[in-house]
Chains A and B, each alone.
Chain A
Amino acid sequence: PHFIIYLPKSQKNVCFNIDSEPGKILNLVSDPESGISVNGQLIGGKKPKNGKLSTYFGKLGFYFQSEDVKVEISTETITLSRGSRTSILSWSDTAHLINQRVRVSLKKEKTVTITLDKEMSFSVLLHRVWKKHPINVDFLGIYIPPTNKFSPHVHGLIGQFMHEPKIRIFNERPGKNLEKPEASLEVKGHTLTVTRGLQKDYRTDIVFGTDVACWFVHNSGKGFIDRHYKDYLVPQLYSFLKW
């Protein structure tokens, strides 16, 4: 999974990858105060490519504790559960599921948008691949706007950046590869070496994406994210971070 964090005040994009294993669940947003958690479960490609198995988000879980609503989005179905009752839609439908404050809007074979009242929204994109591809598998992307109103203590791989950290990028210089400049990134008391690169935003073009230039933090975001990425592994799709 490729993370792109847009920092509105600094007007900069910072990106990092999390390289974990299929089956693991990463916490993206943990906000016990608002009662919201967002987690993503990893799946692997059909087989390794160049000795490396790619991982993607195959399932995303949204928990809205105050509504007792859980939304699970996989590459096949979209499930809304409230208490013990469930409604399931498939990606072949265009539909809306409305449960009091939570609205799930599904656009056939494209996106699911979850809104909580009108204050918060989350978009999930479906990436369908050619079924017979020897390596690639269907996967999901998630987009969370920085305007979402979380509590001051929200955390998670994405949530921690809702309250924007101060950063300073300086000393831009040629990198080891002349075409990939490097720079120094000062954040959270660390000074990190970052590399200029391009990531993709697929919201307007699901196949080719739109290039997003960003400063890439190596080693699974070490120094940019709080603690280590393994601290963001959670046991279930609706878990909150314990620490």
Chain B
Amino acid sequence: SVSGESGEMLEDDDKITLYSYKVQSTITSRSANTMIQSKVVNNSPLPQNVVFDVQIPKGAFISNFSMTVDGTTFTSSIKERTVGRALYSQARAKGKTAGLVRSRALDMENFKTEINMLPGAKVQFELHYQEMKWRRLGAYEHRLHLQPGRLAKHLEVDVWIIEPQGMRFLHVPDTFEGHFDGVPVVSKGNQKAHVSFKPTVAQQRKCSTCSETAVEGELVVMYDVNREVKAGELEVFNGYFVHFFAPDNLDPIPKNILFVIDVSGSMWGIKMKQTVEAMKTILDDLRAEDQFSVVDFNHNVRTWRNDLVSATKTQISDAKKYIEKIQPNGGTNINEALLRAIFILNEASNLGLLDPNSVSLIILVSDGDPTVGELKLSKIQKNVKQNIRDNISLFSLGIGFDVDYDFLKRLSNENRGIAQRIYGNQDTSSQLKKFYNQVSTPLLRNVQFNYPHSSVTDVTQNNFHNYFGGSEIVVAGKFDPAKLDQIASIVTATSANAELVLETLAQMDDLETFLLRDKHADPDFTKKLWAYLTINQLLAERSLATTAATKRKITKTILQMSLEHHIVTPLTAMVIENEAGDERMLADSPPQDPSCCSGTLYYGSKVAPDSIPSWVNPSPTPAVPLHLKAAPVMEATPPPHVIRVEND
């Protein structure tokens, strides 16, 4: 048996010892690579099943898995799904299984490997996955789910963060109810940080005499980068560029917002209670220059007011009272509810009641499929698309698992918004508020990213209807280093009071020295971010494809990219096999979960990257005449006032 400190035994009743549990995560400019490794020994005289069960964020791409069982190594390769299945069926491994299991958790899924260990056997599991960090409500959140399952002799979690933009703050909130106070160690410089979590065996115990581990939950690291100095950051490396855009220091644009709330019978109880609680806070957060109204619907459609009203204290108070009195009952007529909301906004616009510089949003909250009126989801989608104007964005929140989330997602993506699924329980209110807060502060409209040089190709979505405070827009692309040594970008947008044109120039080797200096920095981060964005955008586009041919074309591209970048996506599977190739396991991605998770707040579109809007006319600085009269050089009077920085 393997002892812990002071000779204490670490074995559980089943005589399995977890020798080490290591998690190493590196974030290089929002590109995160995580490795989870577990070493287990079977000290029992009998064979035992051992499970390697890790939760990974939905939307992360698994890139590698390996397993060593008593000297026999199983390695992984990425194959197209049907190919992977065929290979697996040829040589199923005995006593070993692997799989990706979709969980009911909204944001995580399980990777599970189970093997039967012989007495005295030693096994090492190692899983690698990649993801992108998205900024939400002013911070990036890196979550590592720790579930060693038992006490570990060596439990080590290391997170390295490398952000060339510089870190504004970083902290590790307590997510273990105080059990590990003082255990996480944070060392932070301007552009780099390291978080280490290495509890001793004694610290891991639930109580001093317990044999269960208290390490069951998430280690969370939150940080944000400096934004005061520049509005955007263009990073160029290795033939790829990534453009991060999240300007601060802009006043909010007034918004016209319609809340469309499902009050059918299924909303009765905690869902409605939580929705009312959230709505009261949300209404209080509206700004004086905003306009709003509420549409509640079951089999009928009601409006609190027939028109938009200004968000004055009186109106807000009245709206809150209205919402509080709602009694959910009846069926669900989503079609009519949305058309009514669109009508209210269109009418207001026709009557000139909307601030020409404002942003119009519809937020739909629903827990079920339509049961009254138009039932065909594709027809509802078509009706909305036909009536909604180009300047209105539709966001959808699906409560619970009875709603057709795929429909909500298509509906929103098609109309310049996004959808999100939330739980229907005591957390509904906070989830609703959190979602709203992400869109409550529009700062820019019509944001377009242009990269004028013809050597720039394969640019991801670069045209966005809105930019919301607290978030970040990310655009990536490729360029030919042989033809370009710097990338120029021109970002155009409309703020609350001006048109904005932002020009940025980034050199190819700006980052090289910086990245070479840190062994943890990932030199492929630009490539990975580009691939991550492209694949996720293609997956979303695929679900909106209107013809089979388009869908096939997109599928082919996603598959090609998944294989090239060696990642498990909905179109690929991971085949895990031994050196002889006669024992195989298959980790097959669960059917594409539409509630997952590009992670972004934005569903944009693509415009030619060199198509700068016509109103942008970056005029050269006007030639102000230099009126210098030739004169003999004389000693200057008064005393010289030249400031020479270099000679200081």
A212 in contact with B628 given A123-B621, A180-B637 (CB within 8 Å): yes
A99: chain B residues at CB < 8 Å are 497-499
Task: Check if A219 is an interface residue, CB within 8 A of chain B.
Answer: no
Q: How far is the CB of A108 from chain B (nearest CB, A)?
A: 8
Task: Check if B517 is an interface residue, CB within 8 A of chain A.
Answer: no
Task: Check if B213 is an interface residue, CB within 8 A of chain A.
Answer: no
A13: chain B residues at CB < 8 Å are 627, 629
Within 8 A of B (CB), among A121-167: 121, 123, 127-130, 133, 136, 143, 145-147
Please tell me if the beta carbons of A2 and B641 are within 8 angstroms of each other in the complex: yes
Please tell me if the beta carbons of B250 and A92 are within 8 angstroms of each other in the complex: no
Query: Which residue on chain B has the smallest CB distance to residue A84?
Result: B251
Query: Interface 1/0s, chain A 63-85, versus B by CB < 8 A?
Result: 00000000000000100111111
Task: Check if A231 is an interface residue, CB within 8 A of chain B.
Answer: no
Query: Which residue on chain B has the smallest CB distance to residue A123?
Result: B624
A198: chain B residues at CB < 8 Å are 631, 633-637
Please tell me if the beta carbons of B501 and A207 are within 8 angstroms of each other in the complex: no
Please tell me if the beta carbons of B230 and A107 are within 8 angstroms of each other in the complex: no
Please tell me if the beta carbons of B642 and A197 are within 8 angstroms of each other in the complex: no
A98 CA / B493 CA spacing, docked (Å): 10
Interface segment out of the listed A4-12, A22-30, A185-193, A235-243: A4-12
Within 8 A of A (CB), among B603-645: 615-616, 618-619, 621-622, 624-638, 641-645
Chain B interface main SS type: loop
Please tell me if the beta carbons of A211 and B230 are within 8 angstroms of each other in the complex: no
A147: chain B residues at CB < 8 Å are 625
Within 8 A of B (CB), among A196-219: 196-201, 203-204, 207-213, 216
Task: Check if B504 is an interface residue, CB within 8 A of chain A.
Answer: yes
Please tell me if the beta carbons of B634 and A179 are within 8 angstroms of each other in the complex: yes
Report which residue of B251, B497, B630 has the largest number of chain A beta carbons within 10 angstroms of its beta carbon. B497
Query: Interface 1/0s, chain A 96-114, versus B by CB < 8 A?
Result: 1111000111010001010
A129: chain B residues at CB < 8 Å are 643, 645, 648
A129 CA / B634 CA spacing, docked (Å): 26
Query: Which residue on chain B has the smallest CB distance to residue A127?
Result: B643
B285: chain A residues at CB < 8 Å are none
A128 CA / B628 CA spacing, docked (Å): 24
Please tell me if the beta carbons of A195 and B628 are within 8 angstroms of each other in the complex: no
Please tell me if the beta carbons of B624 and A92 are within 8 angstroms of each other in the complex: no
Please tell me if the beta carbons of A83 and B497 are within 8 angstroms of each other in the complex: yes
Please tell me if the beta carbons of B622 and A87 are within 8 angstroms of each other in the complex: no
Task: Check if B495 is an interface residue, CB within 8 A of chain A.
Answer: yes
Report which residue of B498, B633, B646 has the largest number of chain A beta carbons within 10 angstroms of its beta carbon. B498
Please tell me if the beta carbons of A211 and B633 are within 8 angstroms of each other in the complex: yes
Contact of A213 among B248, B497, B634 (CB under 8 A): B634
B641: chain A residues at CB < 8 Å are 2, 54, 200
Task: Check if A34 is an interface residue, CB within 8 A of chain B.
Answer: no
Q: How far is the CB of B14 from chain A (nearest CB, A)?
A: 60
Task: Check if A184 is an interface residue, CB within 8 A of chain B.
Answer: no
A199 CA / B636 CA spacing, docked (Å): 7
Query: Interface 1/0s, chain B 232-276, versus A by CB < 8 A?
Result: 000000000000000011110000000000000000000000000
A12: chain B residues at CB < 8 Å are 629
B631: chain A residues at CB < 8 Å are 196, 198, 211, 213
Please tell me if the beta carbons of A128 and B624 are within 8 angstroms of each other in the complex: no
Query: Which residue on chain B has the smallest CB distance to residue A115?
Result: B622
Contact of A92 among B230, B629, B636 (CB under 8 A): B230
Contact of B638 among A130, A197, A204 (CB under 8 A): A197
Please tell me if the beta carbons of A17 and B628 are within 8 angstroms of each other in the complex: no
A204 in contact with B626 given A85-B497, A87-B495, A87-B498 (CB within 8 Å): yes
Please tell me if the beta carbons of B635 and A213 are within 8 angstroms of each other in the complex: no
Task: Check if B516 is an interface residue, CB within 8 A of chain A.
Answer: no
Please tell me if the beta carbons of B251 and A85 are within 8 angstroms of each other in the complex: yes
Q: How far is the CB of A213 from chain B (nearest CB, A)?
A: 3
Please tell me if the beta carbons of A97 and B230 are within 8 angstroms of each other in the complex: no
Contact of A203 among B251, B504, B626, B642 (CB under 8 A): B626
A212: chain B residues at CB < 8 Å are 628-629
Q: How far is the CB of B486 from chain A (nearest CB, A)?
A: 13
Query: Which residue on chain B has the smallest CB distance to residue A199?
Result: B636
Q: How far is the CB of B579 from chain A (nearest CB, A)?
A: 54
A17: chain B residues at CB < 8 Å are 638
A195: chain B residues at CB < 8 Å are 637
A199 CA / B495 CA spacing, docked (Å): 40
Please tell me if the beta carbons of A90 and B230 are within 8 angstroms of each other in the complex: yes
A196 in contact with B634 given A82-B497, A93-B231, A97-B498 (CB within 8 Å): yes
Contact of A208 among B619, B638, B644 (CB under 8 A): B644
A53: chain B residues at CB < 8 Å are none
A2 CA / B497 CA spacing, docked (Å): 34
Q: How far is the CB of B274 from chain A (nearest CB, A)?
A: 35
Task: Check if B503 is an interface residue, CB within 8 A of chain A.
Answer: yes
Within 8 A of A (CB), among B305-336: none
Query: Interface 1/0s, chain B 497-513, versus A by CB < 8 A?
Result: 11111111100000000
Please tell me if the beta carbons of A207 and B646 are within 8 angstroms of each other in the complex: yes
A89 CA / B495 CA spacing, docked (Å): 12
B626: chain A residues at CB < 8 Å are 201, 203-204, 210
Task: Check if B580 is an interface residue, CB within 8 A of chain A.
Answer: no
B496: chain A residues at CB < 8 Å are 85-87
Q: How far is the CB of B214 from chain A (nearest CB, A)?
A: 46
A17 CA / B621 CA spacing, docked (Å): 27
Q: How far is the CB of B641 from chain A (nearest CB, A)?
A: 7
Contact of B637 among A86, A113, A197, A210 (CB under 8 A): A197
Query: Which residue on chain B has the smallest CB distance to residue A98?
Result: B499
A99 CA / B497 CA spacing, docked (Å): 7
Q: How far is the CB of B531 from chain A (nearest CB, A)?
A: 29
Please tell me if the beta carbons of A179 and B635 are within 8 angstroms of each other in the complex: yes
Query: Which residue on chain B has the smallest CB distance to residue A181?
Result: B634
Query: Which residue on chain A has the smallest CB distance to residue B250?
Result: A87
Please tell me if the beta carbons of A97 and B633 are within 8 angstroms of each other in the complex: no
Please tell me if the beta carbons of A90 and B229 are within 8 angstroms of each other in the complex: yes
Task: Check if B228 is an interface residue, CB within 8 A of chain A.
Answer: yes
A197: chain B residues at CB < 8 Å are 634-638
A94: chain B residues at CB < 8 Å are 502-505
Query: Which residue on chain B has the smallest CB distance to residue A113?
Result: B621
Please tell me if the beta carbons of A80 and B498 are within 8 angstroms of each other in the complex: yes
A145 CA / B629 CA spacing, docked (Å): 16
Report which residue of B615, B638, B644 has the largest number of chain A beta carbons within 10 angstroms of its beta carbon. B638
A85 CA / B497 CA spacing, docked (Å): 6
Q: How far is the CB of B618 from chain A (nearest CB, A)?
A: 6
Q: How far is the CB of A99 from chain B (nearest CB, A)?
A: 4
A211 CA / B626 CA spacing, docked (Å): 11
Q: How far is the CB of B349 from chain A (nearest CB, A)?
A: 20
A210: chain B residues at CB < 8 Å are 626, 628
Please tell me if the beta carbons of A81 and B635 are within 8 angstroms of each other in the complex: no
Query: Which residue on chain A has the smallest CB distance to residue B494?
Result: A98
Contact of A88 among B249, B625, B632, B635 (CB under 8 A): B249
A96 CA / B229 CA spacing, docked (Å): 16
A2 CA / B639 CA spacing, docked (Å): 11
Q: How far is the CB of B457 from chain A (nearest CB, A)?
A: 24
A11: chain B residues at CB < 8 Å are 629
B251: chain A residues at CB < 8 Å are 84-87
Query: Which residue on chain B has the smallest CB distance to residue A7?
Result: B627
Q: How far is the CB of A1 from chain B (nearest CB, A)?
A: 10
Given A199-B636, A211-B636, output 9 extra A-B contacts at Cβ < 8 Å: A8-B627, A54-B641, A86-B251, A95-B501, A105-B621, A180-B634, A208-B642, A211-B631, A213-B628
Task: Please give the residue numbers on chain B whose beta carbons come within 8 Å of chain A beta carbons, in ascending order.
Answer: 228-231, 248-251, 495-505, 615-616, 618-619, 621-622, 624-638, 641-646, 648
